[in-house]
Structure 1
Amino acid sequence: MTQLNRESLQPDSPDPGAGSRPQLSVGLVLLDQFTLAAFSGFVDVLRLSADLGGGSRQIHTAWRVMSVDGLPRTSSAGITLEVSGGLAQDLEAFDYVAICGGNDYLNTHLPNPLRDWLQRAAKSRTRLLGICTGTFALAQAGVVGSRSVCVHWNVLDAFRARFPKTPAAVDHLFIDEGDLITCAGSTAAIDLGLYLVARHCGREKAQQAVRHMMLQGIRPGRQPQAHFYANLADIKDERVRQAAHYIEQRMDSLPTLDAIARYVGLGRRQLTRAFQQSLGLSPMEFQRSLRVEYGGWLLVNSHSSITQIAMDCGFSDGAHFSREFRARFGVCPRQYQRQERSG
């Protein structure tokens, strides 16, 4: 396990000549097994917007990293991070409080101190951020209400099973409900950070971070997540749901029918019958439909060639992809791309 010391992570003190409170201040709470990419990407946006030249002084933006008990937290990557302390009592110091989750989202126990603190933050009108699976903790604390939330496509079924009354979506990178903003995690946390910096510090400061991070630009929250996901909310057969999830997870290394059947403990024919009854498709037809849907997303949201997109989606060549795509959408990939981008 790698240990990072506090000195290597804490920025220099704010410039005493700055004279005023930073335009944007965020308190971040690390949960067990938090996702390092989402947390670090979000914080680095704040850091690179805080000062000129990447100096890291908390002038224009400020951040404080906390945990429930003030002790270090270990990320899902096994890297342990020091924190500034326990849950802050001076909530008025923050424009936002961010809950950074990760691989511990299936844990149904939310520490009472965190629950009470989040409820106090909500009552004091401190705006809340759910980063990655931190949204699970916000829902557990009862501070989401009827608001819509954004979750990563990989955990949508788990979220809906736990919180069936909370509208959850994967067709955004993040969703802003005014006093609650939730994001899918991973690189979407960078986009959320840029969104907040642009709002509070101006677009120039956000672009400063974009240049330092060598990004292509700022993605809007309404941009859909890369779509490896099929909506199975109405499918009652748990075996089909498990098999579909397995296929989604293996988009880059397509499983055979035998492998899928073994994964859910069925024979090939049993699995095929179950899929036909639930979806009207065979497992392999379902797999192809996901690949074509993903290809459609890439056509609109990436700059890759059609041949490269075909290969990335698991097709043997561009012609094979084009045939399947036309059968699904009624137009060729190039025409679809022009229509969607012009619309």
Structure 2
Amino acid sequence: MRVGFVLLESFTLNAFSGFIEAMRLSADKGGRSRQIACGWEIMGGKDVTASCGLKITPTSELADPGLFDYIAVCGGNGYLERQQPRWLDDYLHRAADAGTPLIGLCTGTFNIARAGLMEGYVACVHWNVFEAFKEQFPHIRAVPDRIFVHAGDRISCAGSAGACDLALHLITQHCGHEKAQQSIRHMMLQGVRPSTHPQAHFYGEMQNVRDSAVRRVVHLMEQSLNEPPRVPELARQAGISPRQLDRRFIAELNQTPSRYFRDMRLRYGAWLLTHTTDKIAQIAVDTGFADAAHFSRAFRALYSTTPQGYRTAMQPESRNHTDPSADITKAARAH
């Protein structure tokens, strides 16, 4: 399996390193890093700086896309920019014309879409950039409820640790189960998460919300689940008074900011109950509640059951690893 990487300025190191390390450890025995079962090039004409400040030197110029099984675009903090270099558009079109599948790692999917090459495909994006993707590409179906979507010639990954799962998925397809297991053992992982493994589902659906202050405050809430700021502080960061924020939230979402934030934190708590084995006391802390008793009272009020009751009821579903993304994949391929 050969992959050509295109790193863009301010790319996210976690997604890139997770993907390429999974390949490196599958490529050779004993972690010796010889490019045998897997090969890669980091392509470009100059050093590229990750969002953390680390500089990466490319190993080659842009190479013939036909030399690779995949071209992976590693995006990052530049996803809000509405234009991109002409050389990137040209290269991605060359790859598509050559029949080389394109991978969007993290916000690299924005760049593939900006080149006009995601039409008719489903895009998997990180929950944190979901609204930005929908705003920029309203005609492309985007999903923030899984870690990657493999839809033939277009593969999109939410990024972060999910990039490692995507790499292992592709290694299994190209190199076999044992090569993927070799990498899993070296990386001390417990296994490969399927494409349908959900992202932490606590983001707010904002597609019908037009009030920019409300949208900004919801985004701030998403970043502060374990240490929830008070409404006056949220209002200050939005540039309005707490009373104005209350009125605008009720007008847009039919809830006060404090009620909306509490329900968001409880949704995150429900996700943690289903997808982790953390103790309820720890989940209470991670969702910004004072203690397990406070969390349990609020949880029961919203879900009509205790946290433990919810966890028990959801266990069979959380262990079901069948892939309900088949319909998404079929739809994506029928473009």
Shorter-chain TM band: over 0.9
For residues 84-103 of structure 1, what are the structure 2 equivalents within 5 Å? 84-89=59-64, 91-103=65-77
Higher mean C-alpha displacement, 125-134 vs 232-241 = 232-241
Match of 1:110, SS state, is coil
Indicate the residue corresponding to 2:106 in structure 1. 132
C-alpha distance in 1 between matches for 2:80 and 2:62: 22
One-letter identity of the residue aligned with 1:133: T
Higher mean C-alpha displacement, 140-149 vs 324-333 = 324-333
Match of 2:185, SS state, is helix
For residues 99-138 of structure 1, what are the structure 2 equivalents within 5 Å? 99-138=73-112
For residues 134-149 of structure 1, what are the structure 2 equivalents within 5 Å? 134-149=108-123
C-alpha distance in 1 between matches for 2:271 and 2:254: 23
Mapped pair 1:232 → 2:206: yes
1:329 to 303, 307, 311: 303
Mapped pair 1:29 → 2:3: no
Indicate the residue corresponding to 1:294 in structure 2. 268
Indicate the residue corresponding to 2:51 in structure 1. 76
> Residues 76-104 of structure 1: CA distance to partner in whole angstroms, max 9, x if unpaired?
11111110122112x22111110001111
Match of 2:63, SS state, is coil
C-alpha distance in 2 between matches for 1:254 and 1:188: 26
Match of 1:105, SS state, is helix
Post-superposition offset of 1:153: 1.0
Indicate the residue corresponding to 2:322 in structure 1. none
Post-superposition offset of 1:316: 1.2
Do the aligned residues in 2 keep the contact of 1:26 with 1:64 (CA within 8 Å)? yes
Post-superposition offset of 1:205: 1.3
> Residues 249-284 of structure 1: CA distance to partner in whole angstroms, max 9, x if unpaired?
112321111110001111111100111111111111
Post-superposition offset of 1:137: 0.5
2:152 to 178, 184, 194: 178
Post-superposition offset of 1:300: 1.1
Indicate the residue corresponding to 1:253 in structure 2. 227
Do the aligned residues in 2 keep the contact of 1:228 with 1:251 (CA within 8 Å)? no
Do the aligned residues in 2 keep the contact of 1:150 with 1:172 (CA within 8 Å)? yes
> Residues 191-239 of structure 1: CA distance to partner in whole angstroms, max 9, x if unpaired?
1111111111112211111111111221111011112311111112111
> What stretches of structure 2 of length at least 5 have no aligned partner?
318-335
Match of 2:193, SS state, is coil
C-alpha distance in 2 between matches for 1:216 and 1:311: 25
C-alpha distance in 1 between matches for 2:24 and 2:86: 31
Match of 1:164, SS state, is coil
Higher helix content, 1 or 2:
2
RCO comparison, higher one (Cα < 8 Å, 6+): 2
- Normalization by structure 1: what TM-score? 0.90
Mapped pair 1:209 → 2:183: yes
Indicate the residue corresponding to 2:333 in structure 1. none
Indicate the residue corresponding to 2:293 in structure 1. 319
Post-superposition offset of 1:186: 0.9
Post-superposition offset of 1:333: 1.3
1:191 to 165, 173, 183: 165
Match of 1:104, SS state, is helix
The ranges of structure 1 where at least 4 consecutive aligned residues each deviate by more than 2 angstroms after the TM superposition are none
> Residues 289-323 of structure 1: CA distance to partner in whole angstroms, max 9, x if unpaired?
11100011111111211111111111111121111
Match of 2:79, SS state, is coil
Match of 1:98, SS state, is strand
Higher mean C-alpha displacement, 174-183 vs 315-324 = 315-324
One-letter identity of the residue aligned with 2:308: R
Do the aligned residues in 1 keep the contact of 2:105 with 2:158 (CA within 8 Å)? yes
Query: How many positions carry a matched residue from both structures?
Result: 317
Do the aligned residues in 1 keep the contact of 2:226 with 2:285 (CA within 8 Å)? no
1:161 to 120, 132, 135: 135
Determine what percentage of the aligned residue pairs are the same residue.
47
Do the aligned residues in 1 keep the contact of 2:66 with 2:95 (CA within 8 Å)? no
Match of 1:119, SS state, is helix
> What stretches of structure 1 of length at least 5 have no aligned partner?
1-23
C-alpha distance in 1 between matches for 2:7 and 2:37: 23
C-alpha distance in 1 between matches for 2:171 and 2:246: 50
Match of 1:144, SS state, is coil
Post-superposition offset of 1:39: 0.5
Match of 1:266, SS state, is coil
Do the aligned residues in 1 keep the contact of 2:48 with 2:56 (CA within 8 Å)? yes
